Amino acid sequence: MALTQEMQQDIVQYLLDAEQERREVLKVTENYPELTMEKAYDVQQLLIQRKIEGGTRSIGYKLGLTSKAKQEMMGVYEAIYGELTSDMLALEWEPVNSKDLIHPKAEPEIAFFIGEDLQGTNITGEDVIRATQYVAAAIEVIDSRYLDFKFTLPDVVADNCSSAKFLIGSKMVPVCDVDLPELGVVMTKNSQVVTTGAGAAVLGDPAVSVAWAVNKLGERGLGLRKGDVVLSGAITEAIAFEPGDTIQAQFAHLGSVTLSCV
C-alpha cells in the first residue's frame, strides 16, 4: 500500500513528538514498511515545513553517511542529506544541555558557507568550490529519535538524518586557501584523543560530498541558496557524550571548535 498524505503527516507528528519529549521511538518502517527513499524525503520536507511554521528558518543542509567509517558503523552504503534550521545552531560559549537531547553523539565536519545560489543535477566538486565563500571547522551533534540509533535508510532520512545541533568554529577560511581532502582533524574528549581523520574520508573530497547533495536536491527542484551553510559529512565515527564532557575538534588550518555538555 502506498503512503497517503495522512500517513505522512502521522509520521511527521510521531517524529516531532519523540524529539520534543526527548524519547526514543521504534523505527517508522516497523509500522510503515512501504516507506521508500523518495517518500522518506517527502516526509523530511514536511517535517521541516512544520518546524518552519513553528518559527524556525531553513539555513542550509547537511550530509550524512558519507564516510566509510560511518557507513560501516551503521551498516548502510549510501549517502543521505538533511536540512539545517536556525534553532539547531549552538554556540561555543553556551554548553549543550543534555536535557534537550536523547542520546547525542558528536562528529567533526567541514562547514561550507555558500556565496551564490547553486542548483542543478550535474554539479561537480569544482562548481561547489566556485560557489563557496568560506569553510570552517564544525561539530555536528546527531541525536537519532530511534531506539539505540538503529534504523534503515528511509527511517533516518524521514528523521532528517538524525540532525539535532551543530557548532561552527570562529575561523572562516577562504576555500581556495586550503586543500580540503588533506585537512586533518583530531577529536578529543576530555583532552584524550578519541578519533582522527582527514577531509578525504568524506567521499574522497568534502566538495564532492556537497556536490552530491546539490545533485540530489536538484532532482527535487531544490538547491543551495546564497548564505546557506552546508555540513559536508562526518569525517570520523560519531562520539557519544554525556553531561560533564568536553569534545573538541582540532583541524589543520581551520582552528578548533569545542562543545561542552551540561
Q: x/- binding map, residues 162-181, to ligand OOG, per CB under 6 A?
A: x-------------------
| SS3 of residue 189 by DSSP | strand
Binding span for ligand OOG by CB under 6 A among 141-149, 190-198, 212-220, 221-229:
141-149
73-102 binders of ligand OOG (CB under 6 A): 74
Q: Taking CB under 6 A as the rule, does residue 111 contact ligand OOG?
A: no
Which string of b and e fits 127-137 if b means at least 16 CB within 10 Å?
A: bbbebbebbbb
Q: What is the closest distance, in whole angstroms, from the C-beta atom of residue 26 to ligand OOG in the complex?
A: 16
Cβ distance to ligand OOG smaller for residue 64 or 197: 64
CB 82 within 8 A of CB 163: yes
- Strands 58-64, 229-231: pairing is parallel
Q: What is the closest distance, in whole angstroms, from the C-beta atom of residue 167 to ligand OOG in the complex?
A: 14
Cβ distance to ligand OOG smaller for residue 118 or 161: 161
Please pick, from the candidates 25, 161, 164, 187, the single residue that binds ligand OOG as defined by CB under 6 A. 161
Instruction: Give the whole-angstrom CA distance, residue 47 versus residue 57.
Output: 13
Phi then psi dihedrals of residue 211, to 5 deg:
-60, -40
| Side chain identity, residue 171 | K
Q: What is the closest distance, in whole angstroms, from the C-beta atom of residue 4 to ligand OOG in the complex?
A: 27
Q: Taking CB under 6 A as the rule, does residue 107 contact ligand OOG?
A: yes
Structure-derived torsion over alpha carbons of residues 170, 223, 36, 236, reported in degrees to the nearest 10: -30
Closest CA to 199 of 189, 209, 214: 209
Which residues of the shown chain bind ligand OOG in the complex (CB under 6 A)? 63-66, 70, 74, 107, 140, 142, 144, 149, 156, 161-162, 233-234
